[in-house]
């Protein structure tokens, strides 16, 4: 086996994961980033953006379930949901599983990610692309939240790359300020905040930034196999702190009513409730 058969993730300069490649399926330089999709021998198909693993067929359920079901069930009656990024369609599919949702707007800046995901990763989104409640926009999320009406969304889910390259603007003051404005009174925003064992700055800096515009800022954890480095954190910002302190029984009842219970492979009501209990090595990076 030559080393040519391996793809090394380049996220960190001194540590990371590598995949044995069975077959490269696509390699495209879009207007925004370098996109590679390959068939691995360990995790099914894998999408890589600018050298960083974004999604694998083998473990996408962990991230998608936790990024979607936690905010929607914590809210309990989300009708209008805004998704920023997530061009593979996996979050959109999970959002549309909730029968409370009347409209899911997805704004992805890179149309090539959507096109290639439809062609090479069709199972990630399933039938979500053609759901009548879905409104898929190829465009700039920053612009979208700037122009959206006040109090027009119950939940905003940001599934972006790390705050480098194309995803950087999704971690700015201007973005969070507009998000706060377009959310309903019980509304909330979640976004991926990296793996604190390696990227503690990401959690600390974005939490401080969200804190300027939201009274309640916290984070919750998920152990995503191919976001290597222990727990990844998902940042949470909202107005109502009770949403992150619900007991598992309440969450279970909501999940049953909304059609989620029994459909998941990582998320459970107990894991949902427990995910806000942060290890001290992570909690210390949140604003007091």
Residues labelled catalytic: 159
Contact present, 73 and 255 (Cβ < 8 Å): yes
Q: Using CB under 8 A, pick the residue from 51, 225, 240, 250 that binds a copy of itself.
A: 225
With respect to a copy of itself, which residue has the nearer C-beta, 145 or 221? 221
Contact present, 63 and 231 (Cβ < 8 Å): no
Q: Using CB under 8 A, pick the residue from 10, 24, 27, 42 that binds a copy of itself.
A: 42
Q: Tell me the per-residue interface mask from 130 to 149 with a copy of itself, x by CB under 8 A, - otherwise.
A: --------------------
Residue 59 zone, left/alpha/beta (φ > 0; ψ -120 to 50; rest): alpha
Give start and end residues of each alpha helix (H) in 141-247: 141-147, 173-182, 196-211
Structural tokens at position 266: 């990582």
In the bound complex, what is the minimum distance in angstroms from residue 140's beta carbon to a copy of itself? Answer: 33
Contact present, 37 and 101 (Cβ < 8 Å): no
Q: How many other CB atoms sit within 10 Å of the CB of residue 150? A: 8
Q: Using CB under 8 A, pick the residue from 12, 120, 129, 144 that binds a copy of itself.
A: 12
Q: Using CB under 8 A, pick the residue from 50, 59, 88, 154 that binds a copy of itself.
A: 59
Element (H, E) at 188: strand 183-192
In the bound complex, what is the minimum distance in angstroms from residue 102's beta carbon to a copy of itself? Answer: 29
Sole window of 29-37, 80-88, 204-212, 218-226 interacting with a copy of itself (rule: CB under 8 A): 218-226
In the bound complex, what is the minimum distance in angstroms from residue 253's beta carbon to a copy of itself? Answer: 17
Whole-number CA gyration radius for the chain: 18
229 binds a copy of itself (CB under 8 A): yes
Q: Using CB under 8 A, pick the residue from 139, 241, 259, 274 that binds a copy of itself.
A: 274
In the bound complex, what is the minimum distance in angstroms from residue 205's beta carbon to a copy of itself? Answer: 20
230 binds a copy of itself (CB under 8 A): yes
Q: How many other CB atoms sit within 10 Å of the CB of residue 173? A: 11
Residue 167 zone, left/alpha/beta (φ > 0; ψ -120 to 50; rest): alpha
Q: Rounded to 10 degrees, what is the CA torsion of 150, 155, 157, 158? A: 30
Interface residues with a copy of itself (CB under 8 A) are: 3, 8, 12-20, 40-43, 58-59, 61-62, 195, 197-198, 221, 223-225, 228-231, 264-268, 270-271, 273-274, 277, 279-281
């Amino acid at each position: 086996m030559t080393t040519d058969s391996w793809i090394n993730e380049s996220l960190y300069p001194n540590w990371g994961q590598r995949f044995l490649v069975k077959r490269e399926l696509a390699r495209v330089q879009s207007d925004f980033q370098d996109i590679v999709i390959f068939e691995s021998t360990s995790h099914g198909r894998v999408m890589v953006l600018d050298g960083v693993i974004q999604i694998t067929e083998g473990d996408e359920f962990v991230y998608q379930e936790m990024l979607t079901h936690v905010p929607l069930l914590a809210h309990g009656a989300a009708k209008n949901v805004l998704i920023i990024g997530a061009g593979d369609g996996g979050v959109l599919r999970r959002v549309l599983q909730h029968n409370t949702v009347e409209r899911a707007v997805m704004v992805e800046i890179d149309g090539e990610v959507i096109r290639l995901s439809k062609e090479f990763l069709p199972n990630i989104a399933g039938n979500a692309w053609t759901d009548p409640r879905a409104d898929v926009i190829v465009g700039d999320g920053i612009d979208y939240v700037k122009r959206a009406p006040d109090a027009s969304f119950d939940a905003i889910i940001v599934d972006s790359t790390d705050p480098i390259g194309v995803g950087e603007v999704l971690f700015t003051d201007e973005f969070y300020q507009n998000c706060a404005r377009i959310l309903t009174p019980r509304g909330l925003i979640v976004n991926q905040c990296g793996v604190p064992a390696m990227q503690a700055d990401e959690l600390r800096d974005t939490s401080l930034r969200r804190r300027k515009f939201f009274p309640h800022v916290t984070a919750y954890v998920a152990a995503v196999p191919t976001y290597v480095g222990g727990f990844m954190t998902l940042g949470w910002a909202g107005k109502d702190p009770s949403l992150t302190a619900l007991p598992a029984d309440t969450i279970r009842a909501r999940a049953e009513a909304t059609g989620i219970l029994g459909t998941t492979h990582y998320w459970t009501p107990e894991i949902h409730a427990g995910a806000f209990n942060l290890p001290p090595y992570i909690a210390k990076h949140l604003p007091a």
